[in-house]
Amino acid sequence: MNQPLVWMNGHFVEYGSAKVSVEDRGFQFCDGIYEVVRAVEGRFYGFQQHLERMRRSLHSVEIEVLMSDSEFQGIADQMLAESHERDATLYVQITRGAAPRSHVIPREITPTIIMILRSFHPVDESVHSNGIKVIAVKDERWARCDIKLTGLLPNILAREKARRAGVDDAIFVREGWVAEGTSTNVFAVCNDVLVTPLADHRILRGITRDAVLTLARERKVNTAERDLSISDLKAAPEVFLTSTTMEVLPVVEIDHLPVGTGQVGPMTKRLLGGYRDVLHGRAAGESNAR
């Protein structure tokens, strides 16, 4: 695909000429939400779960969208077919729409709905085989991180802080408790239990997080969704991150100290392999959301 495909407010638009108004509330207030869905081997993975989360985000910010799930699915499928891509990401963004700037939500406003489909280029395989280094950063975000809001500036600044510290990413910590990565969820192995923070208002409930939890349970791994302290995270023999684009990403260093032996651990390897089987439709079971 030479250029990403763009669908905007009911029409396919040339990538270079797809434009939104200067008065779009997404631009002025970050008054909007988004989703990132992945297509693997010519099919979207977990489309329904992404739609459900998108509806939850829309409901939380009180943006009303009249398009049905099957309309979203139909356009996404059409974009994927037209792109001839086997591996792609679909970015869906919905803002409240355009209106003269005001803190008051206008009564009559039409949401701006954008879908961008682009080819997916995974990170080099060495990233998954060697693992990544992270730092812990103070979580200064708002109290509704469960909403997939376009306002990602704290995440971007945390990522930049990590880059300056010579590492790959950052993990948000709120009052000593681990929240999530800048664009990932966090897992740790603690006393042979796979632990991940509870999906409450403090984190985004990742589609990959849920798939990995299901996969682990299917494989008789003990799991727990509970508060995880930063000291427990640092003492854990294995830590990994999950997301749509990064799958299961091993962490081998936190704040310049090795995680476990400093090598990718066996549980992480197993779950990365298992998750990839699910993603590529090679596995049966509940975790298969294709």
The Cβ of residue 58 has, within 10 Å, a number of other Cβ atoms equal to 19
Query: Which residues ranging from 84 to 143 are in contact with ligand PDD (CB under 6 A)?
Result: none
The answer to whether 244 contacts ligand PDD (rule: CB under 6 A) is yes
Considering only 133, 209, 268, 272, the residue that binds ligand PDD (CB under 6 A) is 209
148 is catalytic: yes
10 Å CB burial of residue 164 (0-12, 13-18, 19+) is exposed
Query: Which residues ranging from 17 to 46 are in contact with ligand PDD (CB under 6 A)?
Result: 36
Stretch that binds ligand PDD, among 73-81, 181-189, 232-240, 248-256 (CB under 6 A): 181-189
Stretch that binds ligand PDD, among 18-26, 123-131, 176-184, 219-227 (CB under 6 A): 176-184
Residue nearest to ligand PDD (CB): 206
10 Å CB burial of residue 45 (0-12, 13-18, 19+) is buried
- Catalytic one among 19, 138, 148, 269? 148
CA distance 148 to 160: 20
CB 90 within 8 A of CB 120: no
The answer to whether 183 contacts ligand PDD (rule: CB under 6 A) is yes
CA distance 144 to 149: 9
Considering only 95, 112, 242, 288, the residue that binds ligand PDD (CB under 6 A) is 242
String of contacts with ligand PDD for each residue 57-76, x by CB under 6 A: --------------------
CA distance 39 to 5: 14
The answer to whether 180 contacts ligand PDD (rule: CB under 6 A) is yes
In 3D, which of 67, 92, 96, 69 has the Cα closest to residue 79?
Answer: 92
Task: Give the nearest distance from C-beta 121 to ligand PDD in angstroms.
Answer: 14
DSSP letter (8 states) at residue 105 = P
The answer to whether 207 contacts ligand PDD (rule: CB under 6 A) is yes
End-to-end CA gap in the chain? 23
- Strand positions, DSSP E, the chain: 5-8, 11-13, 32-40, 43-45, 88-95, 112-119, 132-138, 169-174, 177-181, 185-190, 193-196, 222-225, 238-243, 247-254, 257-258
CA distance 54 to 233: 30
CA distance 100 to 25: 9
How far is the CA of 275 from the CAs of 215, 244, 271, in angstroms? 7, 11, 6
Kindly state the number of chain residues that form the binding site for ligand PDD, as judged by CB under 6 A. Answer: 14
Nearer to ligand PDD, 112 or 243 (CB): 243
Considering only 57, 93, 95, 184, the residue that binds ligand PDD (CB under 6 A) is 184
Nearer to ligand PDD, 97 or 206 (CB): 206
Nearer to ligand PDD, 73 or 150 (CB): 150
Task: Give the nearest distance from C-beta 100 to ligand PDD in angstroms.
Answer: 30
The answer to whether 4 contacts ligand PDD (rule: CB under 6 A) is no
Task: Give the nearest distance from C-beta 258 to ligand PDD in angstroms.
Answer: 24
Nearer to ligand PDD, 109 or 205 (CB): 205
CB 115 within 8 A of CB 150: no
Which residues would be at the binding site for ligand PDD (CB under 6 A)? 36, 180, 183-185, 204, 206-209, 242-245
Catalytic residues: 148
